[in-house]
């Protein structure tokens, strides 16, 4: 039954954030709910809601896409006019009905499949890319986090999120007449952002106290409503703090170590203190990258202050923590001098006697305090963001698990996805609604639905794609016009037909992404773009980190080439790449170019967004494309190898890219439209279901979240914590006395292993026979792992025996057999403990 008008009013008021600055008296009585709609980012993926804001003020909507700003600036007369506009009222009522249905719905995927769970999953990240109107993101990590929250809302997960409020965001990029990047840090007006102060029962803004250095810093809290999900943002820039602390959140990813660590303390420790203030007892904590890992220290310390031992507290935290690592680039993993971090935590450790135990959780092999190591050692559920990235991560962090073969290191691959409701353009959405049915919107992960793409007539798909290209071309011209006016440049704007081939390259300008790879042979590139019968346009966009001089030089070089007479208006550089531009670009080009140096691209979600819009990927075989490429939905640059590359491979890859363009991409686009459209359809139906955040969130839930919630329930009982804590203390105390005394073979068909366990018993350990190929245990390509169960006691030793004829390759070149002993407890979520090295011995 459709809710009545008054029922919708009640729901909207309940979901509205208290304490907003919008003056409700400004709104006509029959438009009062506009304020509530403005403060819920549901509008960012609702097309009716976006049409609604556009009708109020189309110019301002296109400029900043911020409903709050629109409502603050629109005149009362304009609102009165709209309140009598039948078309506007009809759209307003439709939007309210859709919103109400969305927010009230009880049969969400999570509620249907896991009705017994309502404990909060707490998601923590340094940045969130939800909308252009909330500029607290820099790139892929933030966009992924934003899509994570949107899909969590769609699926009904009991998830809340914690982040920081940056007054100047990342930065606004301008490019001067010489191609140099200019970073501008605007100060955003908090009252114009789509968020509200979080207030307590007395109407006061919630404030949490966070220990930094020798002081207590106060952080006020703002609340962002993302559909059904709440995002809490901490901010220190107000009068109750000293000036030096007020600047902690000035800029995202502040490069100054002092500020950077302060930000991470504020996020991690402050985030946990916020939960206590709100009386939220988390079921699971999800650390999205290592930045929020100080939360683990705060949780361990809090449990110890409640009377738990360090071992017990660590086990509670570890069994309820998820950690996602996002990059194989060493610079992406924050490391600080150990003493420096210890000093920053002076107030945190004040009066606490076990400081060394907690600090050592972050110590790496070089003696630094490593935020990634801290996250790894305090999490049981760990993943990379693609299958290949998981393998790369296992190799990067093998030192955390001593004596464990790389492929057995407990880092899984949960490949990233994108929120299809946000990133699929409106033309494609109309086609999908018509030929797939609207069911695709709620079930983007069901492959069978997407077979309906084949029913779309070729001419309709092509027309939809051309319309998306037209909008992007208009954006290109407008963007160049604004820049020219700013710089005083008077020259014609590029004339681009939607029928020509447009290649897009847009991403962070890190050097390993090789933005200039296509410029390796300018004469060859000149012939490619200037072929009068088959012209090619290449559009570049992206920001370099303010301190990445190499990335800035790449940007300057691309701009320099774009201004050469032979490339003028054929190679185009757009400034200030953001969510708004990305949405136009991933649907408005024909080919999405991605050519990083393998294996540095952990995932690469922009290519997923493009593919779901029918844009074809041309990518190095790296990141998500290893799983996404099927031979029919795009192209691989070079060979289908996952072996690491160096700078010496750049010429080879450049040659492969030129050949791909000349022999495959350009001829197919201009001479075989039927094949191109076939590939577009293949791209959509092969990528959309497998690489959506709907699939990704379900995978996180089934593999990690529910297991963490089960662990949390078991650990609620103090006696359970004490039992597993006592077992672990016994392991740690006695493990140095565990040894494999001898191994006896009989006819290469049976093995007898004598093990010294000291004060441990066979119930405390597992003895295994490991077989595979390799030179040693850590680099072993594991073939088989056999649990040796049969044993007898001889004096103070245990003799394990196994007979099954599995040692047939023993002694063969390249084959490796070993016996190992590892701790065992039935309640451990992972097989290998970071603090307990594997005891092993080669069979021969």
- Render pLDDT for 106-133 as a digit per residue (tens, 0 to 9): 999 999 999 999 999 999 999 999 999 9
DSSP 453: G
Q: Whole-number mean pLDDT of the chain?
A: 94
Peptide bond into 162 cis (omega under 30): no
Report the C-alpha gap between 556 and 551 in whole angstroms: 9
Average pLDDT estimate for 295-323: 97
Query: How large is the average pLDDT for residues 491-498?
Result: 94
Residue 10 banded pLDDT, cuts 50, 70, 90: very low
pLDDT for 703 beyond 60: yes
Distance CA 664, CA 656 (A): 11
Contacts 24+ apart (CB under 8 A), 830-837: 830/380, 830/410, 831/408, 831/410, 832/401, 832/404, 832/408, 832/409, 832/410, 833/731, 834/376, 834/377, 834/400, 834/401, 835/377, 835/732, 836/731, 836/732, 836/735, 837/402, 837/403, 837/735
484-507 mean pLDDT: 95
Gap between the Cα atoms of 581 and 62, Å rounded: 11
Alpha-carbon gap, residue 394 to 391, rounded angstroms: 5
Instruction: Give kind and range of the element (H or E) at residue 481.
Output: helix 458-487
- In sequence order, what DSSP letters do the residues of 497-533 get, joined into one string? -TTSEEEEEES---GGG-TTGGGS-HHHHHHHHT-SS
Q: Residue 663's pLDDT is what?
A: 97
Q: How many CB atoms lie within 10 A of CB 805?
A: 9
Q: How high is the pLDDT of residue 726?
A: 97
Q: Please name which of 556, 543, 562 lies closest in space to residue 480, comparing C-alpha atoms.
A: 562
Residue 7 pLDDT greater than 70, yes or no: no
231-235 average pLDDT score: 98
Name the band, by pLDDT with cuts 50, 70 and 90, for residue 18: very low
φ, ψ for residue 514 (rounded to 5)? 55, 55
- 227 phi-psi bin (left φ>0, alpha ψ -120 to 50, beta other): left
Q: Give pLDDT, residue 806.
A: 65
Provide the angle, in degrees to the nearest 10, between the axes of the packed helices 310-318 and 294-305.
130
pLDDT for 23 equals 53
pLDDT for 338 equals 97
What is the secondary structure of 14-60 as a DSSP string? HHSPTT--S-GGGS-GGGTTHHHHHTBGGGGG-HHHHHHHHHH-HHH
What pLDDT score was predicted for residue 804?
75
| Mean pLDDT confidence for 325-342 | 93
CA–CA dist 309, 12 (Å, integer): 46
Is residue 193 scored above 60 in pLDDT? yes
Tens digit of each residue's pLDDT (9 = 90 or more) over 508-544:
999 999 999 999 999 999 999 999 999 999 999 999 9
CB atoms within 10 A of CB 614: 29
Query: Which pLDDT value is given to residue 129?
Result: 97
What average pLDDT does range 256-274 have in this prediction?
97
pLDDT of residue 84: 95
pLDDT digits (tens, 9 = 90+) for 652-699: 999 999 999 999 999 999 999 999 999 999 999 999 999 999 999 999
As a whole number of Å, the end-to-end CA separation of the chain is 74
List the one residue out of 414, 411, 392 whose CA is nearest residue 692: 414
Residue (of 92, 86, 96) closest to 2 by Cα position: 96
**Is residue 542 within 8 Å of residue 446, measured between CB atoms?**
no
Whose CA is closest to 707, among 322, 374, 154?
322
pLDDT computed for residue 139 by the predictor: 87
Reading the block at residue 12, the tokens are 């909207």
pLDDT of the residue at 556: 97
Q: Provide φ and ψ at 500, rounded to 5°.
A: -90, 160
Q: In this model, does residue 809 exceed pLDDT 60?
A: yes
Distance CA 745, CA 743 (A): 7
Alpha-carbon 316 to chain mean position: 25
The pair of structure tokens assigned to 207 is 């404030």
Higher pLDDT, 564 or 808: 564
Mean pLDDT of 345-363: 97
Task: Kindly state the DSSP code that residue 663 receives in the 8-state scheme.
Answer: I
- Give the residue from 627, 648, 626 showing the smallest Cα distance to 637: 626
Look at the block and give the residue holding tokens 């495959």: 664
The whole-angstrom distance between residue 622's C-alpha and the CA centroid of its chain comes to: 17
CA dihedral sign of residues 248, 250, 253, 255 = negative
Residue 3 has what pLDDT? Answer: 42
Question: Minimal CA–CA distance to 225: which of 201, 194, 193, 202?
Answer: 194
d(CA 576, CA 173): 5
Place of tokens 């107030």: 347
pLDDT-derived band at 141 (thresholds 50, 70, 90) equals very high
Token pair for residue 140?
């892929």
763 token code pair: 């119930």
- Average pLDDT value for residue range 383-396: 96
Average the pLDDT over 37-42 and give the result. Answer: 97
H/E stretch holding 151: helix 140-155
In whole angstroms, give the CA distance from residue 194 to residue 53: 14
In this structure, are residues 217 and 245 in contact, taking their beta carbons and an 8 Å threshold?
yes
Contact status, residue 354 vs residue 570, Cβ threshold 8 Å: no
Q: Measured between alpha carbons, how far is 198 from 234 in angstroms, rounded to an integer?
A: 10
Cβ-based neighbours of 821, under 8 Å, separated by 6 or more: 738, 740, 755, 765, 766, 767, 768, 838, 839, 840
Runs of H (alpha helix) within 194-293: 243-246, 257-277
- The percent of residues above 90 in pLDDT, for the chain, comes to 90
Q: Which residue(s) pair with 370 in the sheet?
A: 335
| Average pLDDT score over residue span 56-60 | 94
- Distance (Å, rounded) from C-alpha 668 to C-alpha 666? 5
Structural domains of the chain sorted by starting position, each given as residue range(s) with its CATH number in brackets? 5-104 (no CATH), 114-408+702-715 (3.40.50.2000), 420-691 (3.40.50.2000), 734-842 (2.60.40)
Mean pLDDT over 588-603 rounds to 96
Which residues does 359 contact at the CB level (< 8 Å), separation at least 6?
338, 341, 342, 345, 369
């Amino acid at each position: 039954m459709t809710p009545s008008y008054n029922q919708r009013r009640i729901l909207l008021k309940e979901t509205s954030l208290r304490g907003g600055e919008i003056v409700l008296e400004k709104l006509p009585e029959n438009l009062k709910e506009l304020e509530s709609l403005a403060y819920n980012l549901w509008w960012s993926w609702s097309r009716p809601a976006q049409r609604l804001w556009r009708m109020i003020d189309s110019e301002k909507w296109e400029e900043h896409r911020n409903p709050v700003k629109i409502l603050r600036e629109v005149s009362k007369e304009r609102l009165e006019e709209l309140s009598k506009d039948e078309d506007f009222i009809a759209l307003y009522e439709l939007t309210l009905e859709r919103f109400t249905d969305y927010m009230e719905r009880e049969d969400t995927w999570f509620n249907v499949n896991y009705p017994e769970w309502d404990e909060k999953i707490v998601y923590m990240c340094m940045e969130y890319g939800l909308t252009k109107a909330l500029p607290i993101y820099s790139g892929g990590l933030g966009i992924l986090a934003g899509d994570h929250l949107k899909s969590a809302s769609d699926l009904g997960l009991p998830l809340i999120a914690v982040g920081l409020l940056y007054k100047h965001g990342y930065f606004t990029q301008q490019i001067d007449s010489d191609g140099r990047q200019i970073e501008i840090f605007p100060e955003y007006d908090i009252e114009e952002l789509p968020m509200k102060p979080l207030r307590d029962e007395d109407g006061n803004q919630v404030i949490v106290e966070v220990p930094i250095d020798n002081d207590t810093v106060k952080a006020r809290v703002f609340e962002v409503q993302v559909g059904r999900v709440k995002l809490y943002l901490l901010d220190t820039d107000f009068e109750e703090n000293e000036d030096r602390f007020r600047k902690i959140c000035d800029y995202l990813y502040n490069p100054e170590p002092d500020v950077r660590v302060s930000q991470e303390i504020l996020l991690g420790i402050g985030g946990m203190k916020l939960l206590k203030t709100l009386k939220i007892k988390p079921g699971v904590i999800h650390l999205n990258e290592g930045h929020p890992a100080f939360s683990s220290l705060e949780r361990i310390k809090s449990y110890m202050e409640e009377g738990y031992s360090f071992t017990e507290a660590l086990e509670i935290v570890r069994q309820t923590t998820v950690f996602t690592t996002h990059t194989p680039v060493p610079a992406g993993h924050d490391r600080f001098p150990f003493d420096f971090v210890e000093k920053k935590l002076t107030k945190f450790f004040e009066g606490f006697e076990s400081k060394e135990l907690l600090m050592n959780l972050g110590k790496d092999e070089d003696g630094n305090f490593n935020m990634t190591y801290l996250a790894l050692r305090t999490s049981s559920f760990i993943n990379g963001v693609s299958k290949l990235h998981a393998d790369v991560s296992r190799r990067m962090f093998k030192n955390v698990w001593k004596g464990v073969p790389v492929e057995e290191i407990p880092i899984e691959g949960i490949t990233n996805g994108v929120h299809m409701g946000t990133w699929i353009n409106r033309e494609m959405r109309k086609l999908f609604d018509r030929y797939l049915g609207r069911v695709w919107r709620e079930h983007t992960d069901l492959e069978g639905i997407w077979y309906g793409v084949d029913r779309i007539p070729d001419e309709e798909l092509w027309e939809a794609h051309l319309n998306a290209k037209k909008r992007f071309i208009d954006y290109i011209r407008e963007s160049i016009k604004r820049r020219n006016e700013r710089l005083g440049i008077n020259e014609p704007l590029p004339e681009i037909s939607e029928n020509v081939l447009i290649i897009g390259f847009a991403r962070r300008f890190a050097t390993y992404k090789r933005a200039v790879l296509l410029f390796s042979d300018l004469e060859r590139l000149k012939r490619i773009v200037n072929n009068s019968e088959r012209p090619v346009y290449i559009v570049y966009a992206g920001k370099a980190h303010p301190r990445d001089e190499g990335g800035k030089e790449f940007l300057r070089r691309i701009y320099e080439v774009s201004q050469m007479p032979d490339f003028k208006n054929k190679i185009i550089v757009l400034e200030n790449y953001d969510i708004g531009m990305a949405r136009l670009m991933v649907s408005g080009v024909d080919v999405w170019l991605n050519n990083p140096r393998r294996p540095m691209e952990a995932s690469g979600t922009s290519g997923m967004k493009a593919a779901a819009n029918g844009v074809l990927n041309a990518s190095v075989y790296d990141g998500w494309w290893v799983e996404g490429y099927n031979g029919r939905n795009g192209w691989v640059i070079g060979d289908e190898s996952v072996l690491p590359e160096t700078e010496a491979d750049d010429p080879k890859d450049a040659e492969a890219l030129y050949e791909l363009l000349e022999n495959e991409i350009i001829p197919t686009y201009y001479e075989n439209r039927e094949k191109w459209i076939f590939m577009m359809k293949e791209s959509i139906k092969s990528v959309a279901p497998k690489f959506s955040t709907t699939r990704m969130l379900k995978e996180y839930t089934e593999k990690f979240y529910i297991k963490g919630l089960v662990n949390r329930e078991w650990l609620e009982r103090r006696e359970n914590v004490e039992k597993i804590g006592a077992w672990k203390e016994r392991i740690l105390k006695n493990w140095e006395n565990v040894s494999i005394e001898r191994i006896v073979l009989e006819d290469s068909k049976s093995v007898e292993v004598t093990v010294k366990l000291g004060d441990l018993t066979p119930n405390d350990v597992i003895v295994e026979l490991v077989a595979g190929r390799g030179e040693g245990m850590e680099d072993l390509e594991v073939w088989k792992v056999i649990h040796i169960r049969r044993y007898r006691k001889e004096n103070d030793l245990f003799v394990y025996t196994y007979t099954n004829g599995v040692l047939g390759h023993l002694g063969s070149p390249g084959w490796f057999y070993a016996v190992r002993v590892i701790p065992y407890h039935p309640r451990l979520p992972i097989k290998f403990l970071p603090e307990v090295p594997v005891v092993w011995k080669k069979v021969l």
